[in-house]
């Protein structure tokens, strides 16, 4: 066993030394990721560096498994997992612990609870599941990026390492011509994953980005190249060199052209994946291929440290932003990159390298497995570094009447329904507020979950093309109200529901996350088009007394991309909703905070004013003027409630003892409820009461 393990280690290290081009590719991949996350101009698509890593991993792992099988006619799972443990876990755990320590010092208190969960997931190779679940909806309330969010890609790779060698062993045993069976099996899995990824990327969103079934084809592409190495080597070297350079150019082009709006992974991921395959296929000995550049010493140096660089760069950037309480300057980002390289060098020299040399106590695979289990336990235990801080989060005790429509998050929420003058007085005094009210409503520990009741009922949080039937108030009433739009329309449900109860009206909701009513055939995102068309058809069939429309429109790109197209789409929606004579009330979008309000408040309990934002930055005024022009007509009214959120210059995040926002874009249900009288007056005007 001892000699066997040593031979495998030597074989692996020799293989990697021979492929200096792959070490260079690792450098390229990590540099692209660093450039993207550091905001280097031009590299808006640098996130494809992760896809390059996936292809490299698939190629290397498959190559090593095949080499082991060819030399011994068997593959040892125990030794394979031992190698992966030695390669990945030590540096990973060190970075997790370091991240938790600095986060405890500088990260906002409200973010620490999620970080505790992230650390535990990282220890169990499941971070990608956490983020797929946490970001499952477009425009849903989400926390700012976790310092461990980049561990999602490690989760994908580690899950691949768990299942893939088992698949290889099974495929090698299924046919007499074992290599053919291996090729067919890997090809089938790769194609199936690719089809799944392409077919679902637009609709499944975060799931297709984070989860292995949608990403396996990228590792599979590298695996297929590994199984075909002998055949690829027979191709004309100059032809391979051409393919290699085409791949290099395609990679750079993708990193420059792709951005956050690119539908990814899907079809878009095929370019960097196949480009990486082409560069690896060129080989390390080509006289004319991109390997000549990738073999430069600077790329070799960075490539050997690429794993540590990837691990350290993201938590350094995220914690630095939290410490600065603002976006980082160019100089600050440069300092973060210097710190990244310094810590990466230390990790490489004192963690990765000693493990790679395999100390005597780790030469036995069983000991490596025990070592891995111990590291997992250490990682799980380290999560309590931040878990202890939960006790320091502000959790004021509030007494009062339970708010109607409460979702069960808080059972002692006071009902707020102020007169206009009372609310104006509170708003006027709010910019000078310094101390977080001890009776804050809702309290900080539940603020981020202060969603309207229709979320809990499944009336909003869904993916149906046909709108669910969600009716409130008096079902037989002669006056009927429809609430239509995305989550920024849904945030008006609480006051509308209370008004409907008071007036004996019938209220029906037609809301869905991300589905802003910006047009029918165009203007809205593709996954919403059928839903929007069905909603419009149902509204026109039912003939409501008043249709209340709102949506998330404080985005610069709505008008910037195509002003004429935007106006045409809005006119189309206006005509569709008013063609049958229905009255429409359009509520302008609420102010957009420049930060995540609950998190900011948790870090500024003595300086609440630090979380306030300027009115001039809270709205997209060009978009608002266009919407006002379209929805101000004989059959529709446009109202802007900005003066109930902001003074002439400032938009406070706490008014009276009410938290106004529950995340980056949505208002809290508590403050929406406080505007009940204001909204009721506007409804009366629209209805002609």
**pLDDT recorded at residue 564:** 79
Cα angle, residue 545 at apex, residues 626 and 496 outer, rounded to 5°: 75
pLDDT in the model for residue 6 = 41
Provide mean pLDDT across the span 337-359: 91
Q: Model confidence over 574-599: pLDDT tens digits? A: 999 998 888 999 999 999 997 899 99
C-alpha distances in Å from residue 123, one per residue of 17, 220, 422:
30, 25, 52
pLDDT in tens, 443-462: 998 998 889 999 999 899 77
- Residue 266, strand partner residues: none
Are 296 and 445 contained in the same domain?
no
Q: Distance (Å, rounded) from C-alpha 671 to C-alpha 194?
A: 46
Percent of the chain surpassing pLDDT 70: 90
- The C-alpha atoms of residue 248 and residue 242 are separated, in whole angstroms, by 10
Nearest to 318 by CA among 578, 109, 144: 144
Domain end call among 336, 369, 389: 389
Tell whether 385 and 425 lie within a shared domain. Answer: no
Whether residues 492 and 379 fall in one domain: no
Q: Is residue 402 assigned to a domain?
A: no
Please indicate, yes or no, if residue 404 is contained in any of the structural domains: no
> How high is the pLDDT of residue 13?
54
Same domain, 182 and 250: yes
Residue 407 forms part of a structural domain? no
User: Rounded to an integer, what is the distance from CA 299 to the centroid of its chain?
Assistant: 30
527 shares a domain with 668: yes
Which pLDDT score is estimated for 561?
Answer: 59
Domain residues for 492? 421-687
Please check the confidence at residue 390 and state whether its pLDDT lies above 50: no
The CATH number linked to 425 is 3.40.50.1110
From CA 549, how far away is CA 488, in angstroms rounded? 10
DSSP-derived letter for residue 284 is: S
DSSP 8-state secondary structure symbol assigned to residue 43: -
**Closest to 645 in 3D by CA, of 683, 605, 591:** 591
Q: Would you state the pLDDT for residue 317? A: 97
What integer best gives the mean pLDDT of the chain? 88
Residue at 93 is within a domain: yes
Q: Residue 73: what pLDDT? A: 86
pLDDT value of position 394: 38
Q: CA–CA separation, 595 vs 614, rounded Å?
A: 12
pTM of the model: 0.85
pLDDT category at 403 given cuts 50, 70, 90 is very low
The reply to whether 410 falls in a domain is no
Q: In the predicted model, is pLDDT for residue 395 greater than 50?
A: no
Q: pLDDT category, 177, cuts 50, 70, 90?
A: low
| Residue 520, pLDDT score | 87
- Considering the domain architecture, whether residues 365 and 426 belong to the same structural domain is answered as no
pLDDT > 90? residue 532: yes
Task: Count the Cβ atoms, other than its own, within 10 Å of residue 617.
Answer: 12
pLDDT(304) > 70: yes
Report CA 553 to chain centroid distance, whole Å. 20
Give the pLDDT confidence of 83-107 residue by residue, as tens digits: 999 999 999 999 999 999 999 999 9
Please check whether residue 279 lies inside any domain of the structure: yes
Task: Round to whole Å and give the CA distance between 223 and 383.
Answer: 35
**pLDDT-based confidence at 175, cuts 50/70/90?**
low
Average pLDDT on 623-652 reads: 95
Q: If pLDDT is split at 50, 70 and 90, which confidence band does 400 have?
A: very low
Mean pLDDT of 173-188: 83
Question: Would you say 207 and 193 are in contact if contact means Cβ atoms under 8 Å apart?
Answer: no
d(CA 145, CA 143): 6
pLDDT at residue 136 in the model:
44
> Confidence band (pLDDT; 50, 70, 90) for 281?
very high
Same structural domain, 337 and 427: no
Flag whether pLDDT at 37 surpasses 50. Answer: yes
How open is the CA angle 146-149-151, to the nearest 5 degrees? 145
* Alpha-carbon torsion, ordered 251, 340, 284, 217, to 10 deg: -50
Contacting residues for 687 by C-beta, under 8 A, at least 6 apart: 479, 545, 546, 583
Domain boundary among 389, 410, 430: 389
The predicted-structure confidence for 228-259, as pLDDT tens digits, reads as follows 988 998 899 999 999 999 999 999 999 999 99
Same domain for 360 and 427, yes or no, is no
* Tokens (6 digits) for 324: 């600065």
Higher-pLDDT residue of 539, 581 = 539
In a domain, 401, yes or no: no
Token pair, residue 534, equals 């069905």
Q: What pLDDT is stored for residue 560 in this prediction?
A: 65
Q: Find out whether 212 and 265 touch, Cβ atoms under 8 Å.
A: no
- Please give the Cα distance from 379 to 615 (Å, whole number): 44
**Is residue 309 helix, strand or coil?**
helix
Q: Is 648 exposed, middle or buried (0-12, 13-18, 19+ CB in 10 A)?
A: exposed
3-class secondary structure per residue, 167-198: HHHHHHHHCCCHHHHHHHHHHHHHHHHHHHHH
233 touches 283 (CB < 8 A): yes
- pLDDT of amino acid 38: 96
404-452 pLDDT, tens digit per residue, is 333 333 333 445 567 889 999 999 999 999 999 999 999 998 998 889 9
Distance in angstroms (rounded) separating the CA atoms of residues 311 and 617: 35
* Helix extents (H) in 73-143: 77-106, 109-123, 127-134
Q: Which of 6-10, 354-358, 393-397 has the highest mean pLDDT?
A: 354-358
Instruction: Tell me which DSSP letter residue 390 carries.
Output: G
| Across 35-48, average pLDDT | 96
72 and 221 belong to one structural domain: yes
Residues shown for the chain: 689
Determine the Cα–Cα distance for residues 17 and 19; give it in Å rounded to an integer.
5
Higher model confidence: residue 513 or residue 417? 513
- If one counts every other C-beta atom within 10 angstroms of the C-beta of residue 598, the result is 28
- The arithmetic mean of pLDDT across residues 514-537, rounded, is 87
**Is residue 273 helix, strand or coil?**
helix
Structural domain count of the chain: 2
At residue 489, the pLDDT reads: 97
Question: Residue 282 has what pLDDT?
Answer: 94
Do 375 and 445 lie in a common domain? no
> Do 138 and 79 share a structural domain?
yes
**Residue 406 covered by a domain:** no
Tell me which DSSP letter residue 484 carries: E
pLDDT at 491: 96
- Looking at the fold, whether 179 and 255 belong to one and the same domain comes out as yes
Measuring CA to CA, which residue among 405, 618, 577 is closest to residue 485? 577
Residue 413 has a pLDDT of 41
pLDDT at 261: 84
Report yes or no: 264 and 296 within 8 Å, Cβ to Cβ.
no
Q: What is the Cβ-side half-sphere exposure of residue 622, based on CA atoms within 13 angstroms? A: 12
pLDDT given for residue 341 in this prediction: 98
Strands (DSSP E) contained in 372-424 are none
Q: pLDDT tier at 524 (50, 70, 90 boundaries)?
A: confident
> Which among 338, 373, 389 is the end of a domain?
389
């Amino acid at each position: 066993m001892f000699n066997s393990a040593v031979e495998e280690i030597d074989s692996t290290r020799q293989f990697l030394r021979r492929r200096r081009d792959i070490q260079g590719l690792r450098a390229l991949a990590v540099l692209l990721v660093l450039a993207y996350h550091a905001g280097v101009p031009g590299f808006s698509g640098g996130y494809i560096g992760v896809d390059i890593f996936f292809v490299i991993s698939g190629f290397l792992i498959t190559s090593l498994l095949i080499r082991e099988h060819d030399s011994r006619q068997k593959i040892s799972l125990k030794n394979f997992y031992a190698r992966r443990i030695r390669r990945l876990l030590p540096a990973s755990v060190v970075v997790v612990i370091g991240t938790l320590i600095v986060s405890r010092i500088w990260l906002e208190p409200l973010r620490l609870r999620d970080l505790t969960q992230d650390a535990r997931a990282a220890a169990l190779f499941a971070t990608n599941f956490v983020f797929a679940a946490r970001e499952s909806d477009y425009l849903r309330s989400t926390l700012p990026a976790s310092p461990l969010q980049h561990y999602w890609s490690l989760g994908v790779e580690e899950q691949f390492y768990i299942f893939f060698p088992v698949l290889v062993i099974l495929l090698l045993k299924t046919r007499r011509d074992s290599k053919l069976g291996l090729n067919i099996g890997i090809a089938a899995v790769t194609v199936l994953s690719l089809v799944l990824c392409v077919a679902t990327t637009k609709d499944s969103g975060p799931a297709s980005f984070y989860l292995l079934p949608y990403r396996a084809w990228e590792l599979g592409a590298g695996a297929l190249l590994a199984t075909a190495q002998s055949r690829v080597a027979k191709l004309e070297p100059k032809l391979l060199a051409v393919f290699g350079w085409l791949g290099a150019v395609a990679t750079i082009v993708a990193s420059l052209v792709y951005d956050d709006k690119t539908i990814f992974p899907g079809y878009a991921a095929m370019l960097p994946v196949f480009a990486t395959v082409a560069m690896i296929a060129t080989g390390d000995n080509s006289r004319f291929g991109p390997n000549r550049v990738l073999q430069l010493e600077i790329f070799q140096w960075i490539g050997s440290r690429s794993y540590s660089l990837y691990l350290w760069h993201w938590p350094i950037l995220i914690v630095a932003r939290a410490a600065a309480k603002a976006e980082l300057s160019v100089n600050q980002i440069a300092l973060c990159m210097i710190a990244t390289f310094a810590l990466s060098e230390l990790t490489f020299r004192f963690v990765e390298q000693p493990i790679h040399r395999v100390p005597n106590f780790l030469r036995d695979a069983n000991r490596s497995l025990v070592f891995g289990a111990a590291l997992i336990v250490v990682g799980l235990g380290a999560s309590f570094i931040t878990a202890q801080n939960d006790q320091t989060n502000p959790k004021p005790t509030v007494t009062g009447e339970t708010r109607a429509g409460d979702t069960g998050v808080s059972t002692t929420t006071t009902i707020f329904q102020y007169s206009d003058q009372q609310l104006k007085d509170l708003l006027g005094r709010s910019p000078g507020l310094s101390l977080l009210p001890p009776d804050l409503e809702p309290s900080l520990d539940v603020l981020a979950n202060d969603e309207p009741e229709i979320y809990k009922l499944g009336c909003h949080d869904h993916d149906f093309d046909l709108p669910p039937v969600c009716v409130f108030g008096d079902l037989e009433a002669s006056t009927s109200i429809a609430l239509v739009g995305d989550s920024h329309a849904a945030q008006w449900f609480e006051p509308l529901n209370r008004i409907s109860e008071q007036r004996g009206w019938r209220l029906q909701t037609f809301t869905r996350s991300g589905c802003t009513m910006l047009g029918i055939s165009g203007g809205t995102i593709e996954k919403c088009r059928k839903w929007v068309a069905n909603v419009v058809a149902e509204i026109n069939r039912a003939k409501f007394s008043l249709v209340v429309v709102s949506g998330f429109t404080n985005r610069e790109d709505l008008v910037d991309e195509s002003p004429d197209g935007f106006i045409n789409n809005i006119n189309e929606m206006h005509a569709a909703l008013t063609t049958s004579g229905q009255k429409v009330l359009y509520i302008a979008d609420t102010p957009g905070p420049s930060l995540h309000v609950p998190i900011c408040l948790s870090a500024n309990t003595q300086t609440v004013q630090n979380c306030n934002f300027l009115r001039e930055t809270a709205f997209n005024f060009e978009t608002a003027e266009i919407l006002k022009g379209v929805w101000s007509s004989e059959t529709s009214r446009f109202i802007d409630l900005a003066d109930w959120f902001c003074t002439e210059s400032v938009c406070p995040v706490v008014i009276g003892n009410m938290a106004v926002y529950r995340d980056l874009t949505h208002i809290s249900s508590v403050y929406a409820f406080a505007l009940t009288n204001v909204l009721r007056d506007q409804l009366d005007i629209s209805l002609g009461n």
